[in-house]
Structure 1
């Protein structure tokens, strides 16, 4: 960051007049520099204590997914008719306020390391969290990520291989994502790094889980999960985190009727939905 330090100096007041706009912009640039320095510092720590190569070896699901994508490059019949088959995209929901939360900074650092390891272009990674401040959005754009302007509530249908980074997100977000892609064709194109579905099921009363989160409930038994290795001092950041994929061999075990009736989740019985809905206004500075 030293080479950029001069760029983030606060503009001084000139004699005879005050240029408020320039001062405000410079303040934003200064804060952006601070936020970026935090991220870079955390990435350096992650490289030492959480080697990305070791992580990828443990997360065999990613490697298998990459192999499948490479095969699709030479496939004459690619199911989704992707404009660039084999080129993986990334979507990140619920990262948190990384300017004020240490865990969110570690999770952002992990995301950037994974994008690099998986050779995903930064501009092909879309991020959203209603808690992002305008300054944090500017930082993410400066890094090169694409910031979504609309709360999708996880309801994004894939049209090419997509890696979803959903660290410690609410169950409804996962359930919405599954609903929007509720077909063998779409689910086989998705990989998730987030909370273990098996862990969700174990921590929730069966009746409520099956009623409120039917898509997670139906898919949990046939998806493939690989828990991420986690250094002891990072338990709070990456606990219960798994790589989740949906191999066709597992999906074929579900009955044909599973895919016929797929109503949009409404969560009428959920007191605490654990996500911010798009019709709820969230104020951030």
Structure 2
């Protein structure tokens, strides 16, 4: 069996694992080995995976389904320029990618990110990536690819000041909720586009009462966002399943009462026993 065939088999055997927070799956042994990565070899493996995905039928469907959003950035309050083009280039932020040097699923998700950046004409340097699980070797690989590596755990609390694609593959619900909280305004939400787990699927897999209590911003967003499911082949169900393009048209936000924007308390998650997010270390 070829290396590629073996990787598909590994991806299939990992069914269900990708739904867990990938940042929590790194053992001390694998973390140690990742510190001494062969940068050139790892970069080549990722680029080979990009080439492999580019030939897949489902990528062509992703590109077609997401082209309207990717090639037409999220709504910009400043409006289009005089020549009809948007005023600002789309940027990208990627959280929770996982340890792509040891996890096949994470490597395919990184390869998909690179394809999406190319399709959306987003410069590599304008894509910022962060995961507490990254080793120093993996951070070097990401820099070698041309991406910008963040050094601070933002917990998803990144304010979109310009049109921004957020790539959150199989991340914990708290990360999505934090991102929505930070951008919870008529000005910022339309600037956002998310490629990640669909909000409706999150709600379906959680007790409704607990979901509304703990993830109030996702709960409110479900009724006003536009969610377009992306196709996923059966052999990669644990890599790309339940992935959607999520946008926040102003027309939908206008349906919410003005009181929605008046008080925006920061999420606390006191009742969450399994938060699925690595929180920032605080000074004692």
- Measured in 2, the distance between the counterparts of 1:270 and 1:98 equals 28
Q: CA RMSD in A?
A: 2.3
Q: How far has the Cα of 1:56 moved from its partner?
A: 2.3
The change in CA–CA distance for 1:130 and 1:54 in structure 2 (over 3 A counts) is same
Segments of structure 1 that go 5 or more residues without pairing to the other structure are: 1-26, 77-83
Given that 1:35 and 1:99 are in contact with CA atoms closer than 8 Å, whether structure 2 keeps it comes out as yes
Computing the radius of gyration from Cα coordinates, the structure with the larger value is: 1
Match of 1:169 among 163, 168, 171: 171
| Unmatched runs of 5 consecutive residues or more in structure 2 | 1-33
Aligned to 1:256: 258
Correspondence list, 1:178-193, <5 A: 178-193=180-195
d(CA) in 1 for partners of 2:268 and 2:259?
Answer: 21
Provide the residue aligned with 2:25 in structure 1.
none
In structure 2, the partner of 1:8 is: none
> What is the number of residues matched between the two proteins?
247
Quote the Cα distance in structure 2 between the aligned partners of 1:245 and 1:64: 13
- For 2:118 and 2:72, the matched residues in 1 are separated by 16
Give me the whole-angstrom Cα distance separating, in 2, the residues matched to 1:148 and 1:49. Answer: 31
Deviations 1:135-170 (A, max 9, x none): 000000011000000000000101100000000000
| Structure 1 length-normalised TM | 0.81
Q: Does 1:32 align with 2:34?
A: no
Q: Distance in 2 between matches of 1:212 and 1:138?
A: 36
* Aligned twin of 2:125: 123
With normalisation by structure 2, the TM-score equals 0.81
From 78, 84, 87, the equivalent of 1:85 is 87
Give per-residue Cα distances to partners, 1:241-263, cap 9 Å, x unaligned: 00000011111111111111110
Q: Measure, in 2, the Cα distance between the counterparts of 1:30 and 1:154.
A: 27
Higher relative contact order (CA 8 A, sep 6+): 2
Match of 1:101 in 2: 103
**Is the 1:212–1:267 Cα contact (8 Å) retained in structure 2?**
yes
Residue 242 of structure 1 aligns to a residue in which SS? strand
Cα distance, 1:61 vs. partner?
5.5
Q: Which residue of 1 aligns with 2:116?
A: 114
Show the counterpart of 2:231: 229
For 1:99 and 1:174, the matched residues in 2 are separated by 25
What CA distance in whole angstroms lies between the structure 2 residues aligned with 1:172 and 1:75? 40
Structure 2 counterparts to residues 1-285 of structure 1, below 5 A: 31-50=38-57, 52-59=59-66, 62-63=69-70, 65-66=72-73, 68=75, 72-74=79-81, 85-279=87-281
Q: CA deviation at 1:96?
A: 0.4
Secondary structure, counterpart of 2:246 in structure 1: strand
Deviation of 1:48 after TM superposition, in Å, equals: 1.3
- CA distance 1:280–1:137, change in 2 (3 Å): farther
